[in-house]
Amino acid sequence: MGEPQPILDPLSKAALFLVATIDEGGESAVRDLLAELPGLRRSVGFRVPGADLSCVTSIGSTAWDRLFAGPKPSELHEFPGYEGPRHQAPATPGDLLFHIKAETPDACFELAMVIGDRLRGAATVVDETVGFRYFEQRDLLGFVDGTENPEGSQAVSTALIDGSDPDFAGGSYVIVQKYLHDLGAWNALSVTEQELVIGRTKLGDFELSDADKPANSHVAVNTLYDPDGTQRQILRANMPFGSVRDGEFGTYYVAYAAAPDVTERMLERMFLGSDEAAYDRILDFSTAVTGTLFFTPPAGFFDALPDPARTDTAVVEQAPALGDGSLGIGTLRRKD
């Protein structure tokens, strides 16, 4: 297995997320940045001792076809989006994801500026989110986030590809979404009502008993089992974000997994419902506004990038336009 990027590291105090789309003709410059990025990270990190600066870089499906020839991660595809009876999870554009992490925000910001400068004229940053660690690793709803993350060897098997896709062993799939919270409506609930929505106690962070935990609680909906009884998990790296001026308060959802279908099954249950619940009750207070799927290559991938993709019409035809002239990015309804 190749050495992974630092997705297994503990949650940092600061994070900055950049999502970018590659401009027409920008492929060569983006490849140059990907090759230079480990060195750029070292240069910035050396200037901020103790910041423990890292950058997890991930690539979308359409971008992969534009950037690289040769094999492609076997399960890499566009985020499908979900349109449930009451709540929606949009699929939004994104070719590149830079998950920048550090113990200090200045290190994150400096590396983000360097990346932005290298991308100028070659790619467009479509989303920039500044995350921070909040009290006892709580989200802005006041609950601890990520308690059930797998640890040790279980985290490795949960998040990293093994020999099932040998060309990309040590890599991972990541789905990111921005959720905006209606704190007014949330804070109007009693603590007991909030605990029933989440499925955990607010102060002590203990999971409610099966007898007390509603079927549509966030914990119940996101507890996933295979038919043989094996629990399926993901590795979350969620971070709160917010703006007092704009009145926006949210969670940047980051889910790493060895196979994207695990995260997608959880999202299906959240938005489309299941036999036990019509939808995840947390969605009455948290609205998804973005959604994108990427592949996170192992660290060594950037030391020897695959050959560039061909630029003839055969490659262009891999993503045919729909009748409205779009590529289908942003559609909300899942296509089976």
Q: Is the pLDDT of residue 242 over 50?
A: yes
Instruction: Give the residue extent of every domain in the chain.
Output: 14-316
- pLDDT tens for residues 26-71? 999 999 999 999 999 999 999 999 999 999 999 999 999 999 998 9
Q: Does residue 228 carry a catalytic annotation? A: no
| Cβ neighbourhood burial of 200 (10 Å; 0-12, 13-18, 19+) | buried
Q: What is the DSSP letter of 178?
A: E
Question: 65, 145, 210, 280: which one is catalytic?
Answer: 145
| Cα 273 to Cα 251: distance, rounded to the nearest angstrom | 21
Displacement of CA 241 from its chain's centroid (Å): 14
Percent of the chain topping pLDDT 70? 92
Nearest Cα residue to 224 out of 301, 277, 153, 289: 277
pLDDT in tens, 294-335: 999 999 999 999 999 987 544 444 444 444 433 343 333 333
- Whose structure tokens read 């990427």? 294
State pTM to two decimals: 0.91
